[in-house]
Structure formats: C-alpha cells, structure tokens
Amino acid sequence: MTALLFGILTVALVGPIPQTLARAAWPLYAPRAAMVLWQSIALAAVLSAFSTGLAIAANLLAPGPDGAPTTTPLAEINRLGVVTWTGYVVVLALTLLIGARLFVTVVRLGVRTRTRRRAHRCMIDLVDRADMHGGSHRDIRVLDVAAPLAYCLPGLRSRVVLSEGVLARLDAEQLTAVIEHERAHLRARHDLVLEAFIALHAAFPRFVRSESALGAVRLLVEALADDQAVRVTRPSAVGRALVACADATAPHGAMAVGGPSTLTRVQRLGYRDSTRRISLTAYLLAAAILVVPTLAVAIPWLTELQRLLTH
C-alpha cells in the first residue's frame, strides 16, 4: 500500500499537478512564490519516486525480528504471487532507471553546457567592441553585429552580451533595463534552476511527465528578471525594452532578454494588485508538498533504525 501511494503521488507530481499549475495565471504575478512551489513539486517528485522504489524493495524482502532480510527477492514469488511480484519488480526497475537517467542527465547537461559556454565566452572576449562605446563594465561585451542580440552567459566569469543592433534600438533607460534584466539572471543563477528542471524533465518517461512544466518555469525565470529591472528603472522602460528586443536571439546555454513570451511579460508589468495572500498560499503549499513526502520516508526509516539500535 505504501508503494502504491508513493507511486500515485509520483505520477501526480510529474503529470497532472504541473499541467494544472502551468495553465494557471497567478504564478506570473507572484513569480518568486510560484518558483518556490515549482521547485518543491520537482523535489517532492524525486523523493516520491525513490520512496516508491524503497517501499517495493522492502516488500521483496521478508524481514526477521531483528530487521535483517530473511529471504531473497526470488524467494518471495510464492508469497506475493507471480503477478504482484512481477509488478513490484517492474516498478522497482523503473525507479532505478529514473534515478540513473537523472544522474546521467545532470552530469551530461552540466558538462556540455559549460563546455559550450566556455568556448563562446572566449570568442566574444576576442571580438568585443565595448571600448568603442566607452564601456567600463567588466562583464559587458558588445558585438559588431546588426542583428539584435541581448543575452547573458552564466558562470564564474559571467558575461552580458549586446549587439550593435540592440544598442541602436534602445535609449539609455531601456539599455539599463536590459542590462539589469540579464544581471538578475546571473546573480540568481537562474541557469542552474533551468538545468535542474531540464534534467528532471528528461529523467521521467514521456507518458507521465508534463510537457508544459519546463516552459512555465522558463517564463517565471524571465518574469523574475523583469521585476528586478523594474526596480532599477520603470515598468514603461522595461516594457519598451522588451518590445524592442522581442526578436533578440541567444546561443545554446545563454539566456536572451527577448523571445516568444515577450507579449505576456509586457502585459504583466502593469499589474499592481497585492499578491501577498497569493504568495503566502503558494509558500505554504510548497512547504506541505515538500514536507509530507519527506516525513513519510524519514519517519518509517528512523523508526526502523531506532528499533535496530535498541536490539
């Protein structure tokens, strides 16, 4: 029963719940709280998946009075029945596969992304034209390109990259908004947040995961950076800058200020109603989603550990 409940919870946390949250409108107006909720859902999904595997592994071994297993998994076929035993083994194997895919994806994505960023950083440092504009900022690079480019390269040696095409479109206040937007990404390490969701998205099978979750998280990341730009400039300046850079592009591994979500992001800039109640509800829900699976896993294992230590 424990394995079944954790299995149902896992499927819900990677499928229906993200789909419902991705369709909701309120996260755009409380992006920080919504991001915490998304991260709680993702972490709870991983915990629930591994909890399913642990619960099934426990069912495949009959413990003795001291808690030590007294049988092998194959010896439990007669006790459980072939159908139930096969189902347990399949779900356990699927759980182990998810764990392995999650680990491999995190490592492969991290290495590939950082290698690509390193090469791109070296290239833009070589062709930088910031000195032509009297630039004195160590993290800003200007490319002699007519196409609109405005993006950041995260990492230990982060960069904000602008093109001549973007500089020609923006006035001083709009340029400040764009630079602050990209620096907000760099300070908050939004790239790591996205990498975690990309890895989680790839780890779970397609028939259970939500395809809209990753897009919703990307939009929230941009909304958080927009809010930081508004604090430094004005909503109108940020909105005009977003419209001017709507067709701006970025290479893989970078984060562009423009994109297909520009219209949605501009519309939300005029929102002024209080979101304190929405944020508080989201934080409480995030805590509940994260704490309940954790306690459900930790309490039985701590109880069992205490029992073993007292014998």
The model's pLDDT over 154-179, given as tens digits with 9 standing for 90+, comes to: 988 889 999 998 999 999 999 999 99
pLDDT value, residue 227:
92
pLDDT range class, residue 297, cuts 50, 70, 90: low
Q: Give the separation between CA 45 and CA 218, rounded to whole angstroms.
A: 19
Q: What percentage of the chain exceeds 70 in pLDDT?
A: 84
Q: Give the separation between CA 292 and CA 301, rounded to whole angstroms.
A: 15
- Which of 179, 287, 270, 161 minimizes the C-alpha distance to 225? 179
- Top pLDDT among 275 and 113 is at 113
Q: Give the separation between CA 223 and CA 131, rounded to whole angstroms.
A: 31
Residue with tokens 């604090």: 231
- The CA-atom distances, in angstroms, between 232 and each of 113, 153, 212, 235, 237 are 30, 21, 31, 10, 10
How many helices (H) and strands (E) the chain has is answered by: 12, 4
Residue with tokens 């029963």: 1
Torsion angles phi and psi, residue 62, rounded to 5: -85, 115
pLDDT value, residue 68:
53
Assess contact for 60 and 79: CB atoms under 8 A.
Answer: no
Q: Give the separation between CA 4 and CA 10, rounded to whole angstroms.
A: 10
In three-state secondary structure terms, 161 is: strand
pLDDT value, residue 16:
86
Lowest-pLDDT range, 13-27, 155-169, 201-215?
Answer: 201-215
pLDDT range class, residue 55, cuts 50, 70, 90: confident
Q: Exposed e or buried b for every residue in 180-213, given b needs 16+ CB within 10 A? A: bbbbbbbebebbebbbbbbbbbbbbeeebbbeeb
pLDDT value, residue 69:
54
